[in-house]
A = this chain, B = another copy of it.
């Protein structure tokens, strides 16, 4: 067992105000600010163990048990080099008694507890876990904001996974990128009532990668510039206020509008980029109808759910906890499930969800009942905390410095 090892986990985050477009592709500086909800690591997480040892012969990395090359000058190499630099400058050069481990090579093993096939972006939680794990290994005296500057250079949205709750990524204006970091708008304890239902949508076609797609939008969409300058700044202000006021109706209105606008600028790209498919569209129709009923004066006149779509067909539906059971019933009605719903909050009894249900007054014609498998699975989670430091029992690296679990071939 090495003296110099640390294991941390980091959460997934799903944006309400979308990041799309870089003003600096090397430093990963965005064209606009963004804001996300950090999801609970009890359900979705990346876990990373980092170890520094004088016996190691090079930096090495294993993702889900498969060794990946650390390309010179690549994003992974940049993050590791930046963390070694911080160790040297902030620890070793300040405290003469601190072990000089910044010069050692590191071994890093990372694991996601959700399948890649789920179509959830693992780069955000992955780079956040990497950064948090190296920060723990190196005992850096840095707040999450500083670490977010490093994680951002691995994967832009990773910077938002270094904090729990409701997190903004300020675009910043400086060419150095030093003002382009995450800030916590409110911790998860401020509004723990925010739950999320992830609808994993089957997709026949591999979509455009977000890295190449967003730059094509920057180069060719005339609508993106308007979004950046005139739409997003106001939405950042408005949604932050909605979060602080725990105003779900307003939060939902802005979240849905911004998801739709992100997909609109993707479509305004040449060649156009489509991430949502017919199943995604049908989920939009179902949630819009659910809100139409909720917005009737006799029903309280407030939205009860908000859909949002990242660069893929999956829907994430945010809603107050009390509405989730109704929403699951609706989704299961329109998208019959192959497998039983895993019910982490025990909303349904032992009989399970069954075949779902629609509400009184619901216009059932807004969508057709899909074939089994159109929505491959449902994950119920909620707002959660930032990276967690784990114990040595949870290390992913064995005493030999190699992953304990290698991928099954």
Q: Which chain A residues have a beta carbon within 8 Å of chain B's beta carbons?
A: 204-205, 220, 222-223, 226-227, 230-231, 253, 256-257, 260-261, 263-265, 267-272, 274, 277-278, 281, 284-285, 288, 367-368
Contact = CB atoms under 8 A, between A and B. Distances in A.
Q: Is the interface of A mostly helix, strand, loop or mixed?
A: helix
Contacts of A285: 205
Contacts of A253: 270
A227 B267 CA distance: 14
Most B CB within 10 A of own CB, among A220, A227, A261, A272: A272
A368 B226 CA distance: 35
Nearest to A368: B204
Nearest to A222: B231
A368 B267 CA distance: 20
B264 A368 contact: no
Contact of A268 (B220, B260, B278, B368): B260
Given A204-B368, A205-B285, A264-B268, 4 more contacts: A222-B231, A223-B265, A261-B268, A277-B278
A367 B205 contact: yes
- When A and B form their complex, which 7 residue pairs have the shortest distance between CB atoms, in order from nearest? A226-B226, A264-B264, A264-B268, A271-B288, A264-B267, A260-B272, A278-B278
A11 to B, nearest CB: 28
20 contacts: A205-B285, A222-B226, A223-B231, A223-B261, A223-B265, A226-B230, A256-B270, A260-B270, A260-B272, A261-B267, A263-B267, A264-B264, A271-B284, A271-B288, A272-B288, A274-B281, A274-B284, A277-B278, A277-B281, A278-B278
